[in-house]
């Protein structure tokens, strides 16, 4: 197998909130520790092959957006490595992050916030390539026109300001901006979540067409299972900062393995099932500040056993089709939850 385009190895991300100086001083005197650490991501490893679209699915607190930003070079991991084509994506510099490559580009969720409201869209699109030297001023207009047409907008729109466009059109501009940098990897962070359903279809079609045309690789972050199924080759299901299941889209939707995945599928209404009763998952999503011990899903899992409360499951292969699951029930295939497994 050829080397993957994107390689994420053992990535952890912690956000620490230190209290102010005065409280820090008091802490030192009283021996307490104020402030807190959020474990946004724990032990994430995955690889994305060239031309593949990987879906990252999960709910609040699962860390998919944080992972997306780490892959895009906006954050650096606290531990672990992220490399594109073997080279690191970003590096820390004091309080800020230095991104080391232009080959990863991100498309944000909110089309109303992701474009500079005071810059013409043509300038926004041309800025990156100009600054990095792969677009000369003379060629800029033509290139911008071509890009706008490629994403389904008229070239004449280059002189307009973002507020003159609808949400779907702005997302197209955001895609054009990303494509202008000639990326190898696109990260789409809930890129269609804020759009109306009919516009969502347009933007998804655009994405699928561009992907074929330009042989793009992409990481598609979403909470919407039906959208992910439609555009992704492989899907990673995330829960509270970890990957709990990783499988091809086909395998995942045909036969999900992890209890959370199964419960998620069962709890979401889909069109066409009529008023069939759907089974909601009980309980609340735990706060990342206070994760449950052992398997993070155990308080809500209908099949949780004593081992699940204390031992963290590891992502391991299951079945024979390359799928991976992080669940104790997976050890040995049909382990009864009450029995403590002999090693």
According to CB under 8 A, which residues from 94 to 133 bind another protein?
94-96, 98-99, 102, 105-106, 108-110, 113-119, 127-128, 131-132
Q: Please give the size of the binding site for another protein, defined by CB under 8 A.
A: 87
Q: Give yes or no for residue 50 binding another protein (CB under 8 A).
A: no
Q: Give yes or no for residue 160 binding another protein (CB under 8 A).
A: yes
CB atoms within 10 A of CB 219: 27
Task: Tell me the window of 9-17, 68-76, 319-327, 330-338 that interacts with another protein (CB under 8 A).
Answer: 68-76
User: Minimum distance between the CB of residue 312 and another protein, rounded to whole angstroms?
Assistant: 21
User: Minimum distance between the CB of residue 332 and another protein, rounded to whole angstroms?
Assistant: 28
Q: Which is nearer to another protein, 31 or 272 (CB)?
A: 272
Q: Which is nearer to another protein, 185 or 307 (CB)?
A: 185
Q: Give yes or no for residue 14 binding another protein (CB under 8 A).
A: no
User: Minimum distance between the CB of residue 98 and another protein, rounded to whole angstroms?
Assistant: 8
Q: Give yes or no for residue 166 binding another protein (CB under 8 A).
A: yes
Q: Which is nearer to another protein, 18 or 339 (CB)?
A: 18
Q: How far is CA 230 from the centre of its chain?
A: 16
For residues 235-264, which are near another protein according to CB under 8 A?
Answer: 249-250, 263-264
Q: Give yes or no for residue 33 binding another protein (CB under 8 A).
A: no
Pairwise CA distance, residues 84 & 7, whole Å: 6
Q: Which is nearer to another protein, 250 or 341 (CB)?
A: 250
Pairwise CA distance, residues 79 & 74, whole Å: 15
User: Minimum distance between the CB of residue 144 and another protein, rounded to whole angstroms?
Assistant: 15
- Cβ-based neighbours of 35, under 8 Å, separated by 6 or more: 16, 17, 18, 19, 23
User: Minimum distance between the CB of residue 113 and another protein, rounded to whole angstroms?
Assistant: 4
3-class DSSP string for the chain: CCCCCEEEEEEEEEEEECCCHHHHHHHHHHCCCCCEEEEEEEEEEEEECCCCEEEEECCCCCCHHHHHHHHCCCCCCCEEEEEECCEECEEEECCEEEECCCCEEEECCCCCCCCCCCCCHHHHHHHHHHHCCCCCHHHHHHHHHHHHHHCCCCHHHHHCCHHHCCHHHHHHHHHHHHHHCCCCEEEEECCCCCCCHHHHHHHHHHHHHHHHHHCCEEEEEECCHHHHHHHCCEEEEEECCEEEEEEEHHHHHHCCCCHHHHHHHHHCCCCCCCCCCCCCCCCCCCCCCCCCCCCCCHHHCCCCCHHHHHCCCCCEECCCCCCEECCHHHCCCCCCCCCCCCC
User: Minimum distance between the CB of residue 260 and another protein, rounded to whole angstroms?
Assistant: 9
Q: Give yes or no for residue 328 binding another protein (CB under 8 A).
A: no
For residues 170-229, which are near another protein according to CB under 8 A?
Answer: 172, 174, 177, 181, 196-202, 204-206, 208-209, 223-227, 229
Q: Which is nearer to another protein, 114 or 318 (CB)?
A: 114
Q: Which is nearer to another protein, 34 or 60 (CB)?
A: 60
Task: Tell me the window of 30-38, 137-145, 159-167, 319-327 that interacts with another protein (CB under 8 A).
Answer: 159-167
Q: Which is nearer to another protein, 3 or 205 (CB)?
A: 205
For residues 262-321, which are near another protein according to CB under 8 A?
Answer: 263-264, 267-282, 284-285
Q: Which is nearer to another protein, 73 or 307 (CB)?
A: 73
Q: Give yes or no for residue 74 binding another protein (CB under 8 A).
A: yes
Query: In the Cβ-directed half-sphere of 231, how many Cα atoms lie within 13 Å?
Result: 33
Q: Which is nearer to another protein, 184 or 307 (CB)?
A: 184
């Amino acid at each position: 197998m050829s080397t993957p385009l994107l390689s994420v190895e053992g990535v952890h991300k912690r956000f620490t909130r230190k209290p102010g100086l005065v409280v820090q001083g008091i802490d030192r005197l009283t021996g307490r520790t104020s402030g807190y650490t959020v474990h946004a991501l724990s032990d994430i490893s995955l690889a994305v092959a060239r031309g593949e679209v990987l879906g990252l699915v999960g709910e609040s607190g699962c860390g998919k957006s944080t992972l997306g930003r780490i892959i895009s070079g906006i954050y650096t991991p606290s531990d672990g490595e992220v490399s594109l084509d073997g080279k690191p994506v970003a590096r820390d510099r004091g309080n800020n992050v230095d991104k080391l490559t232009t080959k990863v580009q991100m498309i944000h969720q909110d089309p109303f916030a992701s474009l500079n409201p005071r810059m013409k869209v043509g300038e926004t699109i041309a800025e990156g390539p100009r600054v990095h030297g792969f677009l000369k001023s003379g060629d800029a207009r033509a290139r911008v026109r071509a890009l706008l047409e490629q994403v389904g907008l008229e070239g004449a729109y280059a002189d307009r300001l973002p507020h003159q466009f609808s949400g779907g059109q702005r997302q197209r501009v955001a895609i054009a901006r990303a494509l202008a940098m000639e990326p190898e990897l696109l990260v789409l962070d809930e890129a269609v979540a804020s759009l109306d359903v009919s516009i969502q279809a347009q933007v998804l079609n655009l994405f699928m067409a561009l992907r074929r045309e330009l042989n793009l690789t992409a990481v598609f972050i979403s909470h919407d299972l039906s959208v992910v199924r439609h555009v992704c080759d492989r899907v990673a299901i995330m829960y509270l900062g970890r990957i709990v299941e990783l499988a091809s889209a086909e395998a995942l939707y045909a036969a999900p393995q992890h209890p959370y995945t199964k419960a998620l599928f069962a709890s979401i209404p889909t069109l066409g099932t009529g008023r069939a009763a759907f089974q909601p998952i009980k309980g609340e999503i735990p706060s990342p500040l206070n994760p449950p011990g052992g398997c993070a899903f155990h308080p809500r899992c209908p099949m949780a056993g004593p081992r699940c409360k204390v031992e963290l499951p590891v992502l391991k292969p299951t079945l024979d089709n390359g799928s991976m699951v992080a669940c104790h029930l997976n050890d040995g295939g049909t382990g009864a939850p009450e029995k403590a497994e002999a090693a």
